[in-house]
Amino acid sequence: MNNSKKIAAIILGAGKGTRMKSDLPKVMMPLNGKPMIRHIIETLESLGADKIITVIAPDGQMVAKEVAPYETAVQEKQLGTGHAVLSARKNLCGFEGDVLVIFGDSPIITRETFLKAVQKRREGYAVVVLGFRPQDPARYGRLIMHGDELKEIVEYKDATEEQRQINLCNSGCMCFDSSEMFELLGAVSNENAAGEYYLTDVVGIANRHGMKCGMVECSAEEVAGANTREELALLEQYLNARKGR
């Protein structure tokens, strides 16, 4: 376990805005007058992140320009979320500390929540996942807890009837110990229906290696993502309500 107090962040920003019916990359869609990804960058700056890396698509020059002077890593092929995070491995060479993994279309997670995840990670967990309880758990992956420990994340389609009754869901956002992160990601396989490397598999892998995983809960509004223009409009409402507008 590392004892460094440094914080790095990897923002996954390689998604296309197809469901937004826009030519813009998804993370460049405007939210309250600025690109979604700018909100995340500003939050990370406010908590004093030591390193911010954005994973972009091969044609992601527009995103690279938006996040400059911060670094980018190119995900050559979209082979899943685990693969996307691995794309940033070189950028974190020699880094010791906590690494936040953030989806670029979840732009309104607060500084306090990120810091809570980091704090929890520093209590001796290899991985900490941000969980939430949506009104409609629908298709979200479920967090399988055993006391204070997170045992696995089960995708909705793979969940048993009993597991589907669980309303604690995976937001996608995680915090890792840098010293174990890439070893865990390297153990993720793509033997699944989609042939993709899922970031969520790291929890089961960590548990099998005798490492502890934990969870920090936040509100459903805070981790809301935007895949469509309707969802983007909802995010604006949440943001404005938070600012008391």
Across the chain, what does the average pLDDT equal? Answer: 94
User: Which tokens hold the place of 203?
Assistant: 């929890």
Output the pLDDT for position 108.
Answer: 96
Strands 213-217 and 127-132: parallel
CA atoms within 13 A on the CB side of 29: 27
Q: Which of 19, 111, 121, 133 is catalytic?
A: 19
Q: For 70-84, how does the pLDDT look when each residue is reduced to its tens digit (9 = 90+)? A: 999 999 998 999 999
Known catalytic residue at 229: no
Listed in sequence order, the DSSP H helices in the chain are 36-46, 61-67, 81-86, 111-121, 161-164, 178-186, 201-208, 229-242
The domain ranges of the chain are 7-242
HEC letters along 139-195: CCCEEEEECCEEEEEECHHHCCHHHHCCCCEEEEEEEEEHHHHHHHHHCCCCCCCCC
Output the pLDDT for position 16.
Answer: 83
Output the pLDDT for position 3.
Answer: 67
Output the pLDDT for position 35.
Answer: 97
Coil, strand or helix: which one is 223? Answer: coil
Query: What amino acid is encoded at 22 in this protein?
Result: S
The CATH label, of 3.40.630.10, 2.70.40.10, 3.90.550.10, 3.30.1060.10, for the domain at 7-242 is 3.90.550.10
Residue 163 CA to residue 156 CA, distance in Å, equals 8
User: Which helix (H) or strand (E) element contains residue 9?
Assistant: strand 7-12
* Residue spans of the chain under pLDDT 70: 1-3, 245
Output the pLDDT for position 245.
Answer: 66
